[in-house]
Structure 1
Amino acid sequence: MDKLKPSFANLLENQKFSDCHILVGNESFNCHKLILSSASEFYERMFLSDFQESKTAEFRLNDVSPDTLRVFLDYVYTYNFEKLKTNPNEMILNLFECGSKWLVESITADCEAVLKERAPQMSIGNLVETFQVAHNAEHKAIIKTVTFHLRRLAGGMKCYDSLFLTSDAFEEYIRICDDKIPEEDRFKMIEAYVTINGLIDVETADSGVNGTILDEFKILKDDDKPGSSKEISVVENKAAVSLPDKNCIESSAGDNKDIKLKKLHLTYVKTLLNYIHFEQMGKTTFYNVVGKSRLLTYEEKFEKMFLTK
């Protein structure tokens, strides 16, 4: 296979005998069905489908950038691991995601090897990003490796990047930083996260649905940021359809959806707060942090206060 690498690379470069076009953005890549389908079950299914694309030999991909596809193609045509390792972390993560989505075990395994090798030298931001990508792919081995190095950095886990994790990843992040970050700081992280990601109702004062963004983070809510907890923002509309007026139906459906959404958000916030060990806080700290927060009701604060030192 090693002796054939230059030949396959030449096929890609010179586009000899290409029989399909992969369209990404404004760019077109001339490829070979046999090579792509041999590397990926995803491409095999796409080429064998009855869709119009399979007849025209033009296939558009919307979930990848031209640069990422270019590196991906270079890999599946040559399987050059040493060349793969020269890519920056961001590209390795992009390729790992492609391998996971497109069922290319070889590139997924090679990217895993690169990420594990680099993890000890990664910054906290890179570790958090890798943590998220591994969660997206439900890749336990990478999650385990990244978790070890996140915990090794201890206090650094209280960082800006963690606030844009998806809901399931952030919950796991809060769990794994147990005993590495003071409880009051974990509480502040939760408060900042639910505020930034719109999981609280700022109009409600004493029902555990308001909060304050951490001054330490110095950030504003930005709906365009990645990881905005879309998992807990999607609520299936099961409103009744027997109302006599269309406007009433739409109004009722909207209200019903809003109620379900708020309940879902509140349940998630309470789940996060269950990870906090209030008994490890001093009374003064509790008053200054939890006491001034609106994530808990007055009754809940009173109950938790008796647990403090």
Structure 2
Amino acid sequence: MDKWLRPSFANLMKNKKFSDCRILVENESFDCHKLILSSASEFFERMFLSDFQESQSSEYRLSDVSPDTFRIFMDYVYTYDCKKLEENTNMMILNLFECGNKWLVESITADCQAILTARAPQMGLGNLIATFQFSHNAENKDLIGVVSCNLYRFGPNMNCDAALFLTSDVFEKYVILSDGYIPEVERFKMIEAYATVNGLIDAETVKHKIEMIDKKGDTDSGVDGTISTENKSLKDDGDEPVTINSISDFENEGPVSLPDKAKPSAEDKKDLKLKKMRIKYVKTLLDHIHFYNMTKIEFYNVVGKSFLLTYKEKFEKLYLTR
């Protein structure tokens, strides 16, 4: 925007002159100008041209943004002042970037990306991880590349609490990214911590109707979920108890016939399907671990005491260690 127009447009926003619509965000309202918002955003243009009841009252509610974020967004589309945009925190820049993506405002997404790119070399690990998550959500390859390169600065410290709150698909990418920068045993600990913090190690996984897990059953993969426990014994009304080392042991078993009274309900099937998907996700994470880069002592002290592998798998992996 021409620098001579910025003060005039900013004055319109402050004095509410000629405002012709009201945007409602949570418990706050913003008097705006349709022409300015629609010229900045195709999203708002479509909203103002819609046949919804709001278009008759000139009041429109937004439910996916906070008042603070929308206030700064408005300031931007009325002035296009990138310098003022730079005064905001990294988290606010991420929020504005997301708004730009949702509301099709290319100028603000470009400015936010430029700000984050410039700040990345000075960001702390927590901010970088938050930006790593966001850049994958936004599928922004350029920002992913910038953040990934700067994460390497932290080396072994990449194994931190902030990584445990990444979404499952992004956590897997983070595990892959850490290859060669975090000692292998620490990468394993990070996966185990992620499984624990996110409820993936769940004793309930091996209770009740676990016989339903069949090697010829559902082959869907998933990314949200649980793993196993060890040495649980199941018994059903006079049947002999079944001792298991891990849920994954059951993936190699054939179908088990259950008496009619023990037939699983639709909800049980859904629950077991989800648990099986979760098991596959944890196995996928463990596939990224190079056990040959661990010493036998490291393996014994960490992997040997973990529930993430069956006894058979532990013996197999132990032979890979040095």
- Structure 2 residue ranges without an equivalent (≥5): 211-225, 230-261
3-state DSSP of counterpart to 1:35? helix
Does the aligned pair in 1 maintain the 2:38–2:44 contact within 8 Å? yes
**Partner of 2:16 in structure 1?**
15
Structure 1 match to 2:137: 136
| Counterpart mapping for 1:107-126 below 5 A | 107-126=108-127
Q: Deviations over 1:25-49 (max 9, x none)?
A: 1100011111111111111121122
1:177 shift after superposition: 0.6
Task: Give the Å deviation of 1:59.
Answer: 1.2
Q: Is the 8 A contact 2:205 2:275 kept in 1?
A: no
Partner of 2:220: none
Structure 2 Cα separation of the partners of residues 278 and 100 of structure 1: 41
What's the CA shift string for 1:229-279, capped at 9, x where partnerless? xxxxxxxxxxxxxxxxxxx99x72211210111111111111111110011
Q: Provide the C-alpha distance between the structure 2 equivalents of 1:41 and 1:267, rounded to a whole number of angstroms.
A: 42
TM-score by length of 1: 0.84
4+ residue segments displaced more than 4 Å: none
Deviation of 1:2 (Å): 1.2
The corresponding residue for 2:174 is 173
Q: C-alpha offsets along residues 93-149 of structure 1, whole Å, 9 cap, x if unaligned?
A: 111111111111100000000000000000000000111111111111111000000
The answer for the alignment partner of 2:106 in structure 1 is: 105
CA distance in structure 2 between the partners assigned to 1:193 and 1:53 by the alignment: 45
Do the aligned partners of 1:24 and 1:66 also contact (CA within 8 Å) in 2? yes
Would the alpha carbon gap of residues 83 and 193 (structure 1) be closer, same or farther in structure 2, given more than 3 Å must change? same
Match of 1:264 among 261, 277, 287: 277
Tell me the secondary structure at the aligned position of residue 31 of structure 2. Answer: strand
CA separation in 2, counterparts of 1:264 and 1:160? Answer: 25
CA contact (8 A) 1:200 1:265 kept: no
C-alpha distance in structure 2 between counterparts of 1:18 and 1:42, whole Å:
19
Determine the structure 2 residue equivalent to 1:69: 70
TM-superposed CA distance for 1:204, in Å, is: 5.2
* Alignment-derived partner of residue 148 in structure 1: 149
What percentage of residue pairs aligned between the two structures are identical?
65
- 2:296 is matched with 283
Q: Which amino acid is 1:132 matched to?
A: Q
The match for 1:184 is: 185
**In the alignment, residue 301 of structure 1 is paired with which amino acid?**
K
Which of structures 1 and 2 has the bigger CA Rg? 2
> Which residue number corresponds to residue 252 of structure 1?
265
The DSSP-based 3-state class of the residue aligned with 1:291 is helix
Question: C-alpha separation between the residues in 1 aligned to 2:269 and 2:19?
Answer: 54
CA distance in 1, matches of 2:73, 2:171: 29
Would the aligned equivalents of 2:117 and 2:143 in 1 still touch at CA under 8 Å? Answer: yes
SS in 2 for 1:86: coil
Equivalent residue, structure 1, for 2:227: 209
Distance (Å, rounded) in 2 between the aligned partners of 1:179 and 1:63: 39
Distance in 1, Cα, partners of 2:88 & 2:28: 21
Aligned counterpart, 2:216: none
Aligned to 2:252: none
**CA–CA distance in 2 between the matches of 1:142 and 1:171?**
18
TM-score, normalised on structure 2? 0.81
**Using the alignment, how far apart are the partners of 2:288 and 2:173 within structure 1?**
10
Taking the aligned partners of 2:11 and 2:45, their CA distance within structure 1 comes to 22
Alignment partner, residue 27 of structure 1 = 28
Deviation at 1:209, TM superposition (A): 2.1
Q: d(CA) in 1 for partners of 2:53 and 2:192? A: 49
Offset of residue 74 of structure 1: 0.3
In structure 2, distance between residues paired with 1:50 and 1:198: 46
Q: 5+ residue gaps in structure 1?
A: 212-247
Aligned match of 1:303: 316
* AA aligned opposite 1:119: A
- The alignment yields a C-alpha RMSD, in angstroms, of 2.0
Local SS of the residue matching 1:181:
coil
